[in-house]
Every structure is written in structure tokens, then in C-alpha cells.
Structure 1
Amino acid sequence: MNKTRRNFIASSVTLAAGTAAAMATPAEPQKGKYPLVHHVFFWLKNPGSVADRDRIIEGLKTLRKIEAIKELRIGVVASTEKRDVVDNSWGVSELMFFEDLAGQASYQTHPIHQQFIKDCSHLWDKVIVYDAIDV
């Protein structure tokens, strides 16, 4: 019985160590589920206006109703470390994910997107878009 108990304890320790090692090993990066990334940055006409910022955010939230958009994230400038490579001059951003180019193209002309532009474009001074495909 003593030998069986030692075998059980040894096996348990080995199994626990193997599990810990497997969990500590980083997984191979996987391509995104939605490979087309559409990232938009908005510079507000009135950068200090919380009301204007919030109005754009509310407008961006309406875009979630567009079926072609698979994920939508909305953000404001984070208070991260100031470095030469960090641009924190913008006010609001949107990060969208699409399955393909056709989905992104349909979003551009979608009535909800066009309404957002009509309702909110007077609030921004500048917009920059970065589109990328997951490789």
C-alpha cells in the first residue's frame, strides 16, 4: 500500500508539473476570426468638450446595428506614458473588425453609417482611417 501511495503522489506531482509547464508556454498566435481591421481616429473641433465627445461616442454605438461589423470597440485617449512615438492628440477612436473587404465596403454605404456622418461630422475637425488585413 505504501508503494501505491508513493506512485500516486509521484504521478500527481508529474501531472501537475506538466500542466503548469503547458499553461506557461505561450500559444502559437492565431489569425483573427475577423481579419479586416478598420481603425478610425477622430479629432474634435472642441477637444475640451465632453458633450461633443460623448455625442460622437453615442453615434458610434449606433453602428453596432450594421450586420457587416463583427466587432466594434470605441475608445478615448488613455493616460499612458508620454513617449515620442505615442500620439494622444485625437479624442475618440473606433476599432472595427470585418470578415472581408465586401463587408467593409457595405459598411461604408450603409444608411446607419451615413446617418452617423450626417449627425456627427460637424463635431470633428479631422478623421484618419487605418485599414489592415491580419497576416
Structure 2
Amino acid sequence: MSRNVVRAFQTSTAAAIQYIGADMMQITSINGPNGARWLQSTRNICDAVERADPRIVFADIQGAKAHISSKDRTDLEEVITVGLQTQGGLRVGTLHVHLNGSFKFFPSRAGREGGFGTRLAQANIPGYLAGEDDPWDKTSPAKGGAPGSA
């Protein structure tokens, strides 16, 4: 059943963010003794983001293994990367979830233009750390590629 059809069967009061991409249980198994904490941080943040902006309905877990970001060189902590999408599949930005429950949100161009970045910044979600523009939207000067190719 497609994710759009599944979402249509949920009531607005019971709607919860849908996880796509890497299996959530892999977060627990791949990240050793901190796996359960990584899973809880990721779920808590994604749920809070969906409550802050109900237009965000999909959390695309882009790899279950915590890692140092190659896109955000200012962040020296390990992160779980989560892409955020609307019902229509529009990518509005990316979350970097930290083990301690803090996170950064990098709005894409569509996320900035649609007010997603502003809405999340003003939602007073515990652990929110201001991010810059979405590094996935930028051309990599080192590689000279097209946006999103870095």
C-alpha cells in the first residue's frame, strides 16, 4: 500500500509521522550500547517536528548508523540524518539528530520558501540548534557538481 494511501486512512488527531528509508530497528542494532538512546532521540525529535508542522508527514531515515556529518563540518558530534517530506513527497529539509536529543534542521529551498524552517525555529522544540541553509542544496565547490550531487 502506498504511503499516500496509508496517510489518508489516519485521522487528523491520530496522525503520526511515517518513517521511511532505513528500518528504525536497525538504529538500535547498529549503534551498539547506545542504540536504544539513538532510536528514542530520533523518534522524539521526529514526533516533535511533526507536531510543530503537520505538513511534514514523512521522516526518511537516511542511514541507521550514527556518523560524523560530511555535510555539516561545524558539527563534530555523531548524527542520524533524517530527510523530511510532505504528503506529496516534497523534501523540505534535513534533520541531524544527536544522541543527547538535540538536533539541527537544515531547510531546503522549498523548506525556506514554504516557511518550514521558520515554523520549526519558532516551535520551541527542546534541543533545537539553529542550522544554516541546507548543505544538500548547495553545489560543492570542491567537486563542482550540481546541487545535491555532493
Structure ranking higher on relative contact order (CA contacts 8 Å, 6+ apart):
1
Higher alpha-carbon Rg: 1
* Structure with a larger share of its residues in helix: 1
Query: Do the structures match in fold with TM over 0.5?
Result: no
TM-score, reference length from structure 1:
0.35
TM-score, reference length from structure 2:
0.33
